[in-house]
Amino acid sequence: MFDSEDYWPLPNYSTGPTKHLHALGVISLNYNMFERGLVAVLEFYLDKPTAEFLFDKMSNEQRVGIIWQFAGQREKDPVVIPSYRQNREGGARP
């Protein structure tokens, strides 16, 4: 919860308005949770150390591509990713 009486960081760091710092913290937290979710999807198809290693070395575009690649190759339930198979034949990804 936002506390308007909290004057951290002290003594005189130029950090901007407290509400802006709070907003940046929320954005950062949500982005990190989103990235962690992408790693979890990749871990569904690979072991954890391999998934984390690959994820850390890739750009966002490469991450999406490798998730599509492994899901397309290893997903057993055809309902989960029918669009992958359809788009692969058409040459495009959603």
The 10s digit of each residue's pLDDT in 12-58 is: 667 778 888 889 999 999 999 999 999 999 999 899 999 999 999 99
Q: What is the mean pLDDT of residues 7-16?
A: 68
pTM for this prediction: 0.64
Task: Report the SS3 class of residue 15.
Answer: coil
d(CA 85, CA 93): 10
66 pLDDT exceeds 60? Answer: yes
Query: Pick the residue with more confidence: 69 or 28?
Result: 28
* Structural domain spans, the chain: 18-90
Q: Which two tokens stand for residue 91?
A: 């040459």
Phi and psi for 58 in degrees, rounded to 5?
A: -110, 155
